[in-house]
Amino acid sequence: MPICHERIRHDFSTARRLAWSLASCAALLLAPASAGAQRRRVAPTPVVAVPVPTSAAQDAAGAADAVARSHFDRGVALSGMGDYESALIEFRASYDIRPRPNVLFNLGATYQALHRYVRASRAIEQYLNEATLTAVRRADVERGLAQIRTYIAHIVLPGLPDGAVITLDREPWAMTRGGGETAVSAGRHDLEVTAPGFVATRQAFTIGGGETRSILVVMRAAEATVARPVDSTIPVLPAVVVVRGLPAGATLTIDGIAAPLDRAVQLSAGPHDFVARARGWVPWRGGMESIDGVSRTARVSMVRDNLMSAAPFGVATAATIAFGVGGIAMVVLASATQRDFNGLTQEDPRAAELARIGPTQFLLADGLLIATAIAGTVAVALLTRTRFAPAAATVRWSDRARDPSAPIPLGVRF
């Protein structure tokens, strides 16, 4: 969208006429005084020059507009090439020089292309507040803003210590006071929390648009703060995970190592891969980021594997179509033979040949049509036992802080 620069034009001919007028007035006023001075020999009155306004400020403003437009044009060109990070830098530079509402719209569109939906919505909201728009244009922008907001989620970080500083995706992030909800863009995020007297905590999470989630951040007191009576009692507890809900006879592996079912398993902090298998069930594969001091429970609902792939149904359907087309073609051919035979006399030598070919063609047509019916019946029967889309298990994760007084769980240490 082109940026609209306002230019101040200067009429230099008018300025020159104004200067000549001032000079003429001064000459008329001073002429009698000079004549009297010659007769009375009075000291001459000094003449004060009238300054003519200059255009230095206007020239500086025009130069700033030119620089802002240059940044804006480069941002538009970079956006067209798909380099949205560089385009964002150019649009920011343009807005810092000349804060025009049109630049806000382009900033919002660039943030949206970079999947930074929270910043995109803020830029578009500011654009709607500052720009003078027609009713049609405002309605169109508001529809786009509503779509952007569907990709915004909210998180809550309860129980953070005083003075906590939050960094989200390597950028400082301001949280709502009192642990209230804070908007984040949908997707995967890297969270880091630091606080005076505590060890920095890092963890990753993935959240969907429209979702609100409470993220538990467990912070350990730094060694230098052992004198603090509350923080010094916080032990360093390993991460724990429990997988529940698997069917009887299922096997569970974590990072390729067999793990017990319905029992707590200690894990090292970081990402882990889970695979559960059971006869007659679709395998479940999932991932999880474990955090020291946090106990996580996964409740898995696996899907029965009582359906076959779509290949047999596809073969039966293709056979039905092939037999049907062949049978129809043979019926048409046999009917043409019968018509030709009916038009011949008994003395015609072709009559005997057509009398021999006709019944064979009708017999083949009957066979193909019967095969069509059989193949169609098989296809219908397979339709009810065919899985056309990949089945997947569902899993629900729940987190809670480890109880320092609880015994260390038995199980596999990863």
**Final residue in a domain of this structure, among 199, 214, 233:** 233
Cβ-contact 3, 72 below 8 angstroms: yes
Does the residue 28 lie in any domain?
A: yes
pLDDT of residue 67: 92
Confidence of residue 1 (pLDDT cuts 50, 70, 90): very low
Instruction: Strand 265-267: give its sheet, edge to edge.
Output: 265-267, 239-244, 294-301, 394-401
Mean pLDDT confidence for 56-62? 73
Nearest to 152 by CA among 183, 191, 113, 195: 183
Mean pLDDT confidence for 58-80? 88
Q: What is the pLDDT of residues 239-250, one digit of tens each?
A: 777 788 888 888
Domain that holds residue 176: 152-233
**Final residue in a domain of this structure, among 97, 115, 149:** 149
Q: Is the pLDDT of residue 68 over 60?
A: yes
Confidence of residue 373 (pLDDT cuts 50, 70, 90): very high
Residues 292 and 320 in one domain: no
Give whole-number Cα distances, 4 to 46, 78, 120, 131, 370, in Å. 49, 19, 21, 12, 76
What average pLDDT does the structure give for the chain?
Answer: 75
Which tops the pLDDT comparison, 405 or 395? 395
Residues 81 and 159 in one domain: no
pLDDT of residue 48: 36
Which tops the pLDDT comparison, 191 or 287? 191
What CATH number does residue 75 fall under?
1.25.40.10
What CATH number does residue 300 fall under?
2.60.40
Q: What is the pLDDT of residues 198-214, one digit of tens each?
A: 888 888 888 888 888 88
CA distance 196 to 178: 18
Q: What is the pLDDT of residues 278-334, one digit of tens each?
A: 887 878 777 777 776 677 787 777 777 666 677 888 898 999 999 999 889 989 988
**Final residue in a domain of this structure, among 101, 129, 149:** 149
Residues 157 and 143 in one domain: no
pLDDT of residue 301: 77
Residues 186 and 206 in one domain: yes
Tell me which amino acid residue 218 is: V
What's this model's pTM, rounded to 2 decimal places? 0.43
pLDDT of residue 348: 79
3-state helix, strand, coil in the chain (%, to 5): 45, 20, 35
Tell me which amino acid residue 372 is: T
Number of domain units in the chain: 4
